[in-house]
Amino acid sequence: MKYGFEKVREMEIPELASTAVLYRHAKTGARVLSVVNDDENKVFGISFRTPPEDSTGVAHILEHSVLCGSEKYPVREPFVELLKGSLQTFLNALTFPDKTCYPVASANVADFYNLVDVYLDAVFHPRLTENTLRQEGWHYETEGADKPLSYKGVVFNEMKGAYSSPDSLLYEYSQHSLFPDTTYGLDSGGDPAVIPDLTFEKFMDFHRTHYHPSNAYAFFYGDDDPDKRLEILDREFSRYERIDVTGTRVPLQPRFADAVAVKKPYPASERLSKGMFTVNWMLAETADANLNLALHILDHILIGLPSSPLRKALMDSGLGEDLAGVGLEGDIRQMFFSVGLKGIHPSNAIKVESLIFHTIKELVENGIDPMDVEAAVNSVEFDLRENNSGSYPRGLSLMFQALSTWLYDSEDGTEGDPFVLLPFEEPLRNIKAWLEQGERIFEELLARLFLHNPHRTTVQLDPDHKLARTLAAEERARLDAARKAMSEQDVQRVMDEAAELMRLQAEPDAPEALATIPRLAVADLPRENQLIPTEERTASGAPVLFHELHTNGIAYLDLAFDMSGIPDRLLPYASVFSRALLEMGTEQRGYVEFSQWVARITGGIWGQIHNTPILDSDIAGSRLILRAKATHEHAAEMAEILREVLTSAKLTDRNRFRQIVSEAVARVEQRIVPSGHQVVATRLRARSHRAHAMEEMISGVSNLFFLRTLRDRVENDFRRVAKELEEFRSLLLRKNGLLLNATMDADGFRALEPELAAIADCLPEKDAPAQERAPMDLPAVEGMTIPAQVNYVGKSCNVAELGFAFTGTAQAVNKLLRTGYLWERVRVQGGAYGSFCIVDRLGGTLSFISYRDPNLDRTLTAYDAAADHLANLELSRDELEKSVIGAIGELDQYMLPDAKGYTALARHLSGQTDEYLQTLRDQALAVTEQDFRDFAEAVRLTAENGAVCVLGHEPGMDASELEFVKTPVL
């Protein structure tokens, strides 16, 4: 027994260089998985089984609400205070269909334990009130006793945004269709039509029954003291007595005897008449390690590559524009597989279903191509060994993997095992051995779990041009019925409650309450930036940036091609050209064989566009970058693949290029609603700098319009399109336009160096003509209309042109503005899901953007009023220090080795030297209250001169005080 915990099991996991120990708290039954290794990016998470019984969003709303003040930290938003003044590398909370997770991460041990302490108090001792539910969930508002009611609430508006995204709806309906009798058949996020059914009593009862140590799954990861972890948890858990939590168990969905068909509408404009369709199968529980890994490999075989047989059959059919469905979903108790097409004519749904079954039947009868199997096994194995979690801490991805088996008790009450999927060597070895013995394991899985599995559904989403209006009318009817049922006293109470909520939202926290939030001192912060090792070399005359870093035997290589010679008429091709280069085959190999080659040898080769203003200039640093990674053993062959692409990629296959363009259209349309804030930010900045204008042409709304036209041109005039692709290639792929970026250890680089020279030598040495570019000329007040129930509201100005110069102090000011004023005015009081302030030092612009916002004019007024807020700001020493800590935390973002190498490349392209970045740090560390007031000038210039861009619903624009120049987007 150690600090009240009994050791249940210990496991060495060599493939993760970790020791994992499972503990149980003797008094409460709380479970703890403690993973010890040398990773400085420490992770803690506490999770609860939270399967809802309805779609009121209670689990989601509670996830927001527990972070609104607690017993030990009685401030309105401890979460925001941590965002302001922490070195956190991850800080968030997440609601899943069956669990709610509260993870934090930091590379600083003192900061890490501060985060753990605040989160533990938040989840177990929140100050939940009716006003908390009103703010984060929903409440009525009215502007007067004789005025209509409306709904307000952060989660309410967040989910209205989610229900405006066809892809989100397709995922929800596909999952719901397979699990009608369990929690997975409900919307844990909340259905906007049902959220107002949530009462305060149900809200509080959910916390009482679910947020208890007996229902808790705690997780630690990293290089901190493993004994201290238990001591911290025991201090909290020991305050409780064990309770019965069998009611939170996630039951199995009984299997269907027959397939089920579901047909649903989605909100669409009259311009769009295309549907979406998936076939979905419930497969098996997650807890069989061999089966779990085999299904992940099978997912890659079927749809993981452009040449994968099921993906290829669907795209070659011409029945749709892009793949639909999530493929394998393995994070819930019973895994499922979902695949289909988007952009179909509704009458073709039956053809899509028939094609899917026909393709799977052929694979079962004729066998899967051994090259597809080898490619999939290599790709999955590479991912497992690389353990690259991107911008997420590695420990966080490990926590989610453990929870995917740990959370689920068996029907006889045996508790779930968190260790099942963490060690991967044995199941990988088993699968390879079975394949070597000639076993048809993947064909058998296809036959058993797909062809002969009656537990399947089809989901068809058809466009409904009237649905947005119908939903608005239904909401209006519910509100009017509620208003009709109210007495005068009831209406007055609604007004009084809304006024009281606004008063509380505007009331500042007491200094003594803010002082309870633990944080580091500025004196604890490192004074020097963390440098990324960079050596400038050459390979046969081409410049090379080499970053000597420990990469676990993986070579990361970037080939950055200068796009400054590409004329504006060709520039919008960039994204589809980068795909065509890698996905249309070469003179030596068709695209199926080529895709298999890439997947068998490498960890992936892909294209990425990078546009950046260059420091202190109006020049754009614009590059099309081919990114590749492979083990040192295969690095030379990776270079051979790249040379073949650069010298002999085929760009003349009209059918294949048609598919690439159709997919591109569908994918850009898909991200408009969920990433509306990015769409608006890109559009606004296009007015300010040529680099951002290029970004808009390559990836913004302008590119969507180009791609739609290109789709028609491919059908009607492909000879000219092919000629333009060839012209793009000729202007781009030049030796004297190439910059090589290599991230690996010294031995790996020595072995690869001759290959870099060979890559440079395979390219022609020629100049490209310089192009005249300018910022885009767009309307000063622009409205981009979509069939959504929310808005993305932006305002931006190039303040550098008006005489304002950003320094490193802007990092601190912006951090506090974003997590203070904007959070309170736009999110808390306005009900938007989020709001951002973006300082573009290189381009000289200041931008304000909101996310899933019910308002328009109100949000713009809040942006403009930020100038007076800053000009009259009086900051305590505590607030000032918090802003510095938060700014340094953003400067010192934790990065994995490949991200470090790419970041160094990006800095090089933008002209940001180590000396310049250190100056920014020095300025941020020395920020004063006067710097905040000085920044008010940038906000004032934006208020008076800024352009406005709104992506949202047209009625809101029509009701605005502004005159919008409107453009339909979806």
Instruction: Write out the catalytic residue numbers.
Output: 63, 136
Distance of CA 127 to the CA centre of its chain: 30
Q: Which residues pair with 217 in a beta bridge?
A: 31, 47
512-534 burial: b if 16+ Cβ within 10 Å, else e: ebbebbbbbebeebeeebeebeb
Residue corresponding to tokens 């069956």: 98
DSSP string for 587-621: SSS-HHHHHHHHHHHSSEEEEEEEEEEPTTSS-EE
Angle at 958 between CA 956 and CA 964, to 5 degrees: 105
DSSP string for 783-803: EEE-S-SSBEEEEEEE-TTTT
Residue 113: C-alpha distances to residues 23, 42, 643 (Å): 20, 10, 50
In whole angstroms, give the CA distance from residue 217 to residue 44: 11
* Closest CA relative to residue 100, chosen from 143, 144, 151, 66: 66
Residue corresponding to tokens 């546009």: 611
Distance of CA 952 to the CA centre of its chain: 21
CB neighbourhood size of 410 (10 A): 13
User: Please, what is the end-to-end C-alpha distance for the chain in angstroms?
Assistant: 61
In whole angstroms, give the CA distance from residue 604 to residue 259: 37
Residue 249: C-alpha distances to residues 59, 279, 285, 411 (Å): 15, 28, 15, 9
Q: Name the residue type at position 691.
A: A
**Please, which residues have CB within 8 angstroms of residue 765's CB and are 6 or more apart in sequence?**
541, 734, 735, 736
DSSP string for 463-518: EETTHHHHHHHHHHHHHHHHHHT--HHHHHHHHHHHHHHHHHHHSPPPHHHHTTS-
E-strand stretches of 678-735: none
In whole angstroms, give the CA distance from residue 965 to residue 42: 49
Q: What does the longest C-alpha to C-alpha distance in the chain come to?
A: 84
The torsion of the CA quartet 577, 582, 584, 586, rounded to 10 degrees, works out to 120
737-767 burial: b if 16+ Cβ within 10 Å, else e: bbbbbbbbbeebbeebeebbbbbbebbeeee
* Closest CA relative to residue 677, chosen from 822, 804, 870: 822
In whole angstroms, give the CA distance from residue 534 to residue 912: 13
Q: Name the residue type at position 492.
A: Q
- For CA atoms 464, 466, 472, 475, the dihedral sign is negative
* Closest CA relative to residue 455, chosen from 711, 284, 656, 224: 284
Q: Coil, strand, or helix at residue 765?
A: coil
* Closest CA relative to residue 442, chosen from 325, 296, 288, 287: 296
- Residue 35 and residue 15 in contact, taking contact as beta carbons nearer than 8 Å: no
- Tokens for 103? 């993870």
Q: Name the residue type at position 637.
A: E
CA atoms within 13 A on the CB side of 474: 10
- Tokens for 275? 């549907």
In whole angstroms, give the CA distance from residue 431 to residue 969: 47
DSSP 391: T
